[in-house]
Amino acid sequence: MGFTQHLRARGEDGLAALLALRPDLASPPPSSIRALAARASGRTSVERALAPLDALTLQVLEAVLALAGTAGHPSGPTAAEVARATGADLDAVAAAARTLLDRSLLWSDPWPVPDDGRLRPSPGLEDVLGPYPAGLGPTLTATLRRRTPQALERLAVDTALPASTDDAAPATTADGEPALVGLLATHLAAPATVERLLDDAPPGARRVLEALTWGPPVGQAPQPGGPTSPVRTAVQWLLRHGLLAMSDTQHAVLPREIGLALRGDRTHASPAHAPEVVPAVPDPAVVAGDGARHAEEFVRLVAALVAMWGDQPASQVRTGGLGVRELRRLAVRLEVTDAVAALVVEVAEAAGLVGDDGAEQPSLVPTTEADTWLERPVGARWHALARAWLASDHATWLVGSRDEGGTTRGALDPELRRPWVPRLRTTTLGALESAGALDPEQVIEVLRWRTPRTPPAAHGVQAVLAEATALGVVGAGALTPPGRALLAGQDAGAALEAELPAAVGHVVLQGDLTGIVPGRPSPDLAALLELAAQVESRGAALTVRFTETSVRRALDTGVDAQDLLERIAAHAHGAVPQPLEYLIVDVARRHGLLRVGTASSYVRAEDPALLAGLLGDRALAGLHLFALAPTVIAAQAPAPQLAEALRERGLAPVLEGPDGQVLVLGQAPHRIRPRRGRRAADAPADDAAEARDRRLHRLAGDLLAGDRRRGEADDDIDPGDPAGPGLAIGLLREAAAEHRPVWLQLVGPDGSTSRRRVRPLRVDAGRVRVLDLDREAELTVAVHRIVDVTP
């Protein structure tokens, strides 16, 4: 059975499971099992399959790749033999092997694999892991094949190869290979043979081999004609006795079986172990409380952003995104750092709550979905934000840094896109999933063990942990219950609601115009305080202060003094303090003494003296004020602009309509329709996962049925179907891994074609190195010259 036949043997369920583990194999759908095998052995696909493997699993894969094809394991090693070679626990090796078999990085004949089944590496692994797995050189068979028949006979004499007792044994194998190659490989691979030869070796020979034993297995070879020395004599003796081989004209290489014999049949000096990090064990209540506090605060910041940009959209820079000055202005208004402000903007955009309005001078404006989001409970709002953050591909922590051209990167800058960011966030949080509280250095150590081929950058891990803490996914250094639900694809909003403290509907008012909310304010109380007070501090309790400006802001919305006092009294814990009543009554008494209308606009008052000083005020000269009557002044400016200018002078005007009725200040918030773009996709629902499984099963069934229709079920390659370039490479890799000969149809420089019987040796970098079996010569062929590959 070859690799292609192995894929067929997996059946529909097995192929569907493979396509689910390696989705790149199904996109676009392959045309046949042969095409699937070629794609699965391609360098890019193998790299992707290796990326999520931990250090022990990679070590097991290296051990199988090193042992397979050696004289002692011509059909591949068993799991028990791999455990002995690596020194790892058999159960751990078996679990790692199962992972590799599921991904078809290993395969076995028969399939499914029995407990004592032989494990074989899949084609293409050597291209990715290199020609010297575990620091071991090429096999003895590969090195002996490069020797002439005469050299093989001399080697048999020098190494005291036992004479064959079978006189009828052929001199060559069915593939035309000298039978001595296999006999010598088995003979030299025996540790007793190696030790016996070294006992008779010249001084320095053992030291030369010890220098190459644990890799790299290649060393500089003495050049012909050089001066005689002990090292030169030792190397020449080792070459003559097959314990070393020439890899090229300048380098000698230690054959794989010789290296294993010198290592004591070990592929690795010691098994890979998970890092011994000792996590802190914080109080679960502290973790949950810290996370809930940050989560609620982040929801509040996003809501404040929506409100700000709804009133006054934020202008974008020419290259896209939010400018540095605009970001700093936002950070000041939100009372957070620039980094937190950037995170708020990025997450709000990823959740589809804000977006580009598409105008000639583009601005960032809330979308219509922001209104729906604002109506949801806190938990549901947070879940939408956290899910968008987890799936976002923007490296938010790069905001404020400079690119290659020296330009400062802003929030929402298109240059922040990094396709690997979602995986970094998922793997970083996954490191905390089974542990307690870990510091960033411990998380980095765990991730380097889990994904040694793609270790994350330290600054990226630190940034992800800081963002997760700001969002409430991580609390006190550990994963919070809502964070665990988010990572598991469950309802994280409900998990957060369970952790939030009960809402408090009252405020303790003080005589110094401050108020304390001992907990999380209810929606009604939060709306009242947002309207009529300003926040002084947040934490376990919320402290607010009532000021002239905050009270006037409430009156500007159309609420009169009596209504405001009644609303405050309804939420007050006890009576409303007299200083607060005086403040509200005093502001209300002066509120509306000036009335602004449209002339372009005008100002009128009952007291002429109140208006007399405005005409001569130089600060108001830009409004072009002029008197219409002792109690009326007109202005060449819109009414809202005139009212704002008067407020800046310490006055408290109100707007009125043509009928003299007071108009409520303000305008409808800006909104745009959400547009498709970088918005994070929703997590797949159960029915979507089932639909994906049905699609993969249907594709697997179609591939198997197509092979049966074409009559390919019994052959790895259909001789009547010319292979395309990609498929040809896959077939050549498979033949090289299994040491099988193929027919290679080539096109020459003049356009003529030729057909050669070859054994592929190595496939990489757009070239194929093969052994021409009829001419007994090696040649290197460019891939574009290959027309067809057949058995």
765 phi-psi bin (left φ>0, alpha ψ -120 to 50, beta other): left
Strand partners, 489: none
Residues of the chain with pLDDT under 70: 1, 164-177, 597-598, 664-668, 670-671, 675-687, 711-727, 765
pLDDT at 167: 55
Instruction: Tell me the residue range of the domain where 231 lies.
Output: 140-262
CATH code of the domain covering residue 744: 2.30.30.100
CATH code of the domain covering residue 8: 1.10.10
Residue 488 lies in a domain: yes
Strands (DSSP E) contained in 533-604 are: 534-537, 542-545, 595-597, 601-604
Give the Cα separation of 88 and 56 in Å (integer). Answer: 9
Residue 585 lies in a domain: no
> Which residues contact residue 131 at a Cβ distance below 8 angstroms, ignoring those fewer than 6 apart?
138, 762
Neighbours of 416 (CB within 10 A): 24
Give the Cα separation of 774 and 133 in Å (integer). Answer: 31
List Cα–Cα distances, 71 to 66, 188, 720, in angstroms: 11, 9, 35
* Same domain membership, residue 461 and residue 344: yes
* Same domain membership, residue 489 and residue 344: yes
* Same domain membership, residue 356 and residue 338: yes
Quickly list DSSP for 339-401. Answer: HHHHHHHHHHHHTTSEEE---SS-EEEEBHHHHHHHTS-HHHHHHHHHHHHHH--B-GGGTT-
Pair 535, 541: CB distance under 8 Å: no
| Dihedral sign for Cα atoms in the order 239, 243, 246, 250 | negative
* Same domain membership, residue 423 and residue 293: yes
Residue 706 lies in a domain: no
* Same domain membership, residue 537 and residue 460: no
pLDDT tens sequence across 246-292: 988 889 999 999 999 999 999 999 999 988 888 888 899 999 999 99
Give the Cα separation of 579 and 423 in Å (integer). Answer: 56
Residue after which a domain boundary falls, among 72, 103, 133: 133
* Same domain membership, residue 191 and residue 156: yes
Give the Cα separation of 335 and 329 in Å (integer). Answer: 10
* Same domain membership, residue 401 and residue 296: yes
pLDDT tens sequence across 87-116: 999 999 999 999 999 999 999 988 888 888
Residue 180 lies in a domain: yes
Residue 101 lies in a domain: yes
* Same domain membership, residue 441 and residue 537: no
Phi, psi of 153 (to 5 degrees): -65, -40
Q: State the total domains in the chain.
A: 6
* Same domain membership, residue 154 and residue 57: no
pLDDT at 666: 55
**Single-letter code of the amino acid located at 307:** A
* Same domain membership, residue 165 and residue 40: no
Give the Cα separation of 190 and 72 in Å (integer). Answer: 9
Give the DSSP H/E element, type plus range, for residue 513: none
Residue 710 lies in a domain: no
Could you tell me whether strands 503-504 and 520-521 are parallel, antiparallel, or unpaired per DSSP bridges? parallel
Residue 279 lies in a domain: no
Give the DSSP H/E element, type plus range, for residue 656: strand 654-656
DSSP structural state of residue 132: S
Residue after which a domain boundary falls, among 262, 295, 325: 262
* Same domain membership, residue 249 and residue 119: no
Residue 115 lies in a domain: yes
* Same domain membership, residue 516 and residue 480: no
pLDDT at 170: 63
